[in-house]
């Protein structure tokens, strides 16, 4: 057990799309710390999901912080639209992002938090040049863009290496993990150094989401 307060983000990619508002309310009542929205354009990943209008609707339905994960071919072109829609966190997929420093600076200037995300195939070492700029790093721990998968076991080493580098350099960014997080592996993931966990199926398939959130946090 890590003994640290760990945050839980609810990924609505796993929610009932016919009842998004009630699903968001269910997550809010379960005391999650954020609502995670995967914005996908069919280019970087094979699926299409959510746009600025969807983000605006979700933001209008809750007081919880909304995290827009720009899993798209040109994340730098849509960051400000998501902030205007109400997102408090913008998570930039690092691999396709051009003008990364400027985009991060613009996000912060707009009073939102700037996170970067890397896919499982990307080395954590490629993050080193941006770690002093960002508020958080999200490590996707399953193949990008598909929910309901099991975590890639080697990701735990990547979490540990990033946490070690963070402590060595004295940085304060949060480390997040998205993909395959369950009540069974949450303690091990946070013990590796994760500060927040993005959960989709684990939460929305639960008959008692509040109890699931409490269980996830107890295991920290």
Which distant-in-sequence residues (6+ apart) come within 8 Å of 86 by Cβ? 55, 56, 58, 59, 60, 66
Instruction: State the burial class of residue 187 (Cβ atoms within 10 Å of its Cβ: 0-12, 13-18, 19+).
Output: middle
Catalytic residues: 38, 178
Q: Are 165 and 190 in contact (CB under 8 A)?
A: no
Q: Are 11 and 66 in contact (CB under 8 A)?
A: no
What is the helix, strand, coil percentage profile of the chain, to 5?
A: 40, 20, 40
Sign of the four-CA dihedral 38, 198, 203, 213:
negative
Q: Are 31 and 218 in contact (CB under 8 A)?
A: no
- Residue 217: Cβ within 10 Å count: 17
64: left (phi over 0), alpha (psi -120 to 50) or beta: beta
Integer Rg of the chain from CA: 16
């Amino acid at each position: 057990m890590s003994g640290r307060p760990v945050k839980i983000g609810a990924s609505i990619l796993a929610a009932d799309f016919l009842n998004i508002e009630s699903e968001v309310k269910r997550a809010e009542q379960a005391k999650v710390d954020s609502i995670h929205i995967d914005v996908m354009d069919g280019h970087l990943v094979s699926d299409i999901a959510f746009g600025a209008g969807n983000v605006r609707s979700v933001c209008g339905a809750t007081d919880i912080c909304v995290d827009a994960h720009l899993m798209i071919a040109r994340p730098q072109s849509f960051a400000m639209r998501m902030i205007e829609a109400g997102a408090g966190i913008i998570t930039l997929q690092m691999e396709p992002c051009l003008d990364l420093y400027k985009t991060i600076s613009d996000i912060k200037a707009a009073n939102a938090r700037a996170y970067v995300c890397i896919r499982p195939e990307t080395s954590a070492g490629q993050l080193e040049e941006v770690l002093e700029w960002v508020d958080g790093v999200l490590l996707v721990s399953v193949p990008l863009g598909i929910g309901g998968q099991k975590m890639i076991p080697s990701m735990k080493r990547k979490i540990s290496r990033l946490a070690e580098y963070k402590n060595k350099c004295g940085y304060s960014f949060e480390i997040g993990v998205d993909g395959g997080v369950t009540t069974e592996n949450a303690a091990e993931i946070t013990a590796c150094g994760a500060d927040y966990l993005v959960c989709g199926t684990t939460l929305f398939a639960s008959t008692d989401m509040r109890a699931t959130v409490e269980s996830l946090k107890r295991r920290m």
